[in-house]
């Protein structure tokens, strides 16, 4: 049981309040002089029929200090708890030292969760909007899994549909030259832009593409061979990106695999009177749920996202036995996701009520559009290359004496940290205007800044020349800044649970920044290696625990923790 849980139990025993209500109300005061935890007594005023100031005084008189709680005092309407410093120090640092990479990990939960994210379309360029999706989804998966849930990480790629038909049509109609030998997936993205531009020039082109898609769905052998070959080019590129970003993927779904099954399900819905014909197309009328009309099959018989999503949901629920399904998809799909979830409920899937849309907003660059070749989007490769170029200048400027392989490794670590942290250090529902220079600032609220704090801790431990001792005089860590660091270390598991419950990795990025800033303040305020032996050992253990928790936190964001920078 941690200190917060101990205080919740004490308040419950004295007031009879529900533990969840106490947990929501319990906070950390803005000033350490006011205590380590504060409980507002306003919520008891109606029940007790007393002013909150009087209630706080009464409770302060009833609650006796103990082994873990040093003092309880009333300040106005607040009941303030002061922890026993020696107990706080010993329990927190011992726990970090013992659990190491598992520090902060939650107890195993019974629920089986599937998180679907990383849904790029083949035959299109992978752009920075896809990057936010991939990084956000991966960080949520890591945190939910670390909190103790059983998670199936799923990717669902759009490898068939109108966008693919346009590319195949363009290649067959207009492409006269040879296919490229490398970067074929990115090249296909350029072909899609050209195809889209050509498609919009004449009404006849719309008819030609629709006919091609119908031929493909009818099983045309030549089209299938061209599709299969070009699809693989995109998948090969995606594989490289997935490895670069170290994405968690347990199962892969493709639209092409669920298309026929989805059509069969929709036609069955028509037989059952759930889907009805409207102007040749099949729809589900969701007007009585204030969700409008849901189109589930086109009038020409070709499938839609909804057609395939029905079959995908069936596979998820039946094959993987999942209890909850989360979909990391852009906020522009809010209505569609509501329509889909309501339709799944009508279809009789009991898990439909536990489907959730984790939405996020768009990403643009402060610098504006970087690649005309990629159309209106900013391609991932152009963005990554620019970040590597900028990171390279920073690393080489700082480490002219490093070996080439060490410099290249550091550039990669710093660039990806800047990219990922910059995408995550903003709430999901906020648009991101990504500033590359700001994201790479070693002194700002950035990934490289947190990495640098970790590297600084590693450097101190290397200079010490000995492994930190686990059995130290914990009471010697009595400086205000030391307590602040230890309180943050103690808070880590709470932040993990908050991210897992809210699906907001920004809570972890803010925690990382606060811990890194507080550790740097400690570093500048307190001597370590030149102190007398007992205090030196205690502070070295504290440094090692900061190193470990920063590493754990960065790992939950999918970011490496370098030992030198």
DSSP state of 127: B
Residue 175 structure tokens:
């492409």
- pLDDT higher than threshold 70 for residue 359: yes
- Of 23, 29, 16, the C-alpha closest to 2 is 23
pLDDT score at 372? 37
Q: Which fold is adopted by the domain 3-83?
A: Gyrase A; domain 2 (3.30.1360)
What's the mean pLDDT in 319-339? 95
**Helices in 322-475 by DSSP H: which ranges?**
334-346, 380-398, 404-424, 436-439, 447-464
- Residues 544 and 523: their CA atoms lie apart, in Å, by 13
137 within 8 A of 192, measured Cβ to Cβ: no
pLDDT value, residue 376? 55
φ, ψ dihedrals at 127, nearest 5°? -115, -175
Reading the block at residue 382, the tokens are 């152009």
The stretch 245-268 carries a mean pLDDT of: 96
Say if residue 201 is exposed, middle or buried (CB neighbours under 10 Å; 0-12, 13-18, 19+). exposed
> Distance between CA 402 and CA 413 in Å, rounded?
15
Rounded Cα gap, residues 492 and 507, in angstroms:
11
Where does residue 489 rank: exposed (0-12), middle (13-18), buried (19+ CB within 10 A)? buried
Query: What is the average per-residue pLDDT within 414-442?
Result: 96
Please say if the pLDDT value at position 412 is more than 80.
yes
173-203 pLDDT per residue, tens: 998 878 999 889 999 999 999 999 999 999 9
Whether 369 shows a pLDDT value over 80: the answer reads no
The strand pair at 69-75 and 78-83 is best described as antiparallel
Chain segment 69-92, per-residue pLDDT in tens: 989 999 999 999 999 988 999 999
47 pLDDT band, cuts 50/70/90, is: confident
Mean of pLDDT over the chain: 94
DSSP states along 11-55: HHHHH---HHHHHHH-B--SSGGG-SEEEETHHHHHHHTS-HHHH
Query: pLDDT band for position 41 (50/70/90)?
Result: very high
pLDDT at 374: 45
Whole-model pTM?
A: 0.92
Q: H or E element: which one contains 535?
A: helix 533-556
Q: Where along the chain do its domains lie?
A: 3-83, 384-556
The predicted pLDDT at position 366 comes to 84
Mean pLDDT of 531-535: 97
Q: Is the pLDDT assigned to residue 347 strictly greater than 90? A: yes
219: left (phi over 0), alpha (psi -120 to 50) or beta: left
CB atoms closer than 10 angstroms to residue 441: 15
Query: Residue 102, Cβ neighbours under 10 Å: how many?
Result: 9
**Predicted local confidence at residue 32, as pLDDT:** 81
Distance of CA 324 to the CA centre of its chain: 17
Please say if the pLDDT value at position 422 is more than 50.
yes
Percent of the chain's residues with pLDDT above 90: 87
At 478 the three-state DSSP class reads coil
Q: Which residue has the higher pLDDT, 1 or 304?
A: 304
CA–CA dist 369, 379 (Å, integer): 9
Residues in the chain: 565
What does the block give as tokens for 395? 């690393």
The rounded Cα 463 to chain-centroid distance in angstroms is: 35
Is the predicted pLDDT of residue 368 greater than 70, yes or no? no
- Asked whether residue 148 carries a pLDDT value surpassing 80, the answer given is yes
| Residue 124 to residue 157: CA distance in whole angstroms | 11
Residue with tokens 């995109």: 234
What is the structure's pLDDT at 8? 93
- CA dist 499 and 504 (Å) reads 5
Q: pLDDT for 84-114, tens place per residue? A: 988 999 999 999 999 999 999 999 998 899 9
CATH number of 384-556: 1.10.730.10
Q: What is the rounded distance in angstroms from the CA atom of residue 361 to the CA atom of residue 199?
A: 29
User: With 80 as the cut, is the pLDDT of residue 373 above it?
Assistant: no
């Amino acid at each position: 049981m941690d200190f917060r849980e101990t205080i919740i139990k004490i308040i419950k025993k004295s007031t009879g309040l529900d533990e969840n209500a106490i947990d929501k109300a319990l906070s950390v005061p803005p000033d350490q002089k006011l205590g380590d935890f504060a409980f507002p007594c306003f919520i008891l005023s109606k029940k007790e029929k007393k002013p909150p100031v009087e209630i706080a005084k009464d409770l302060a008189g009833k609650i006796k200090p103990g082994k873990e709680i040093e003092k309880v005092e009333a300040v106005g309407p607040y009941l303030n708890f002061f922890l026993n410093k020696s107990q706080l120090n010993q329990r927190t640092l011992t726990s970090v030292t013992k659990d190491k990479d598992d520090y902060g990990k939650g107890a195993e939960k019974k629920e089986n969760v599937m998180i679907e994210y990383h849904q790029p379309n083949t035959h299109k360029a992978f752009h920075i909007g896809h990057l936010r999706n991939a990084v956000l989804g991966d960080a949520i998966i890591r945190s939910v899994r670390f909190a103790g849930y059983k998670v199936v990480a799923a990717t669902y790629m759009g490898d068939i549909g109108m966008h693919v038909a346009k590319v195949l049509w363009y290649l067959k109609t207009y492409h006269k030259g040879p296919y490229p030998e490398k970067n074929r997936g990115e090249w296909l993205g350029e072909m899609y832009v050209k195809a889209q531009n050509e498609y919009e020039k004449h009404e006849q082109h719309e008819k030609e593409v629709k006919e091609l898609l119908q031929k493909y769905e009818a099983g045309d052998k030549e089209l299938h061979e061209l599709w299969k070959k070009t699809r693989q080019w995109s998948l090969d590129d995606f594989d490289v990106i997935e490895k670069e970003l170290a994405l968690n993927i347990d199962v892969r779904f493709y639209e092409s695999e669920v298309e026929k099954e989805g059509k069969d399900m929709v036609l069955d819905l028509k037989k059952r009177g759930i889907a009805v014909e409207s102007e040749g197309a099949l729809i589900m009328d969701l007007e009585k749920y204030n969700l409008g009309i849901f189109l589930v099959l086109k009038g020409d018989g070709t499938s839609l996202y909804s057609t395939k999503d029905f079959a995908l949901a069936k596979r998820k629920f039946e094959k993987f036995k999942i209890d909850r399904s989360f979909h990391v998809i852009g906020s522009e799909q809010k209505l569609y996701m509501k329509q889909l979830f309501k339709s799944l409920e009508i279809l009789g899937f009991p898990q439909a009520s536990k489907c959730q849309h984790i939405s996020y907003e768009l990403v643009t660059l402060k610098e504006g559009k970087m690649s005309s070749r990629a159309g209106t989007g900013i391609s991932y490769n152009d963005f990554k290359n620019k970040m590597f170029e900028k990171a390279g200048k920073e690393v080489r400027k700082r480490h002219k004496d490093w070996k080439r392989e060490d410099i290249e490794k550091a550039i990669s670590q710093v660039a990806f940290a800047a990219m990922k942290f910059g995408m995550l250090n903003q709430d999901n529902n906020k648009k991101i205007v990504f500033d590359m220079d700001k994201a790479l600032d070693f002194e700002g609220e950035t990934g490289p800044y947190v990495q640098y704090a970790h590297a600084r801790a590693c450097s101190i431990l290397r200079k010490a020349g000995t492994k930190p001792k686990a059995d130290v005089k914990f009471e010697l860590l009595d400086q205000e800044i030391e307590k602040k660091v230890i309180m943050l270390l103690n808070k880590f598991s709470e932040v993990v649970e908050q991210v897992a419950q809210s699906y907001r990795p920004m809570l972890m990025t803010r925690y990382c920044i606060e811990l890194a800033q507080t550790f740097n303040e400690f570093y500048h305020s307190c001597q370590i290696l030149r102190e007398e032996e007992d205090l030196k050992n205690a502070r070295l253990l504290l440094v090692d625990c900061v190193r470990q928790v920063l590493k754990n936190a960065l790992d939950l964001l999918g970011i490496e923790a370098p030992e030198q920078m």
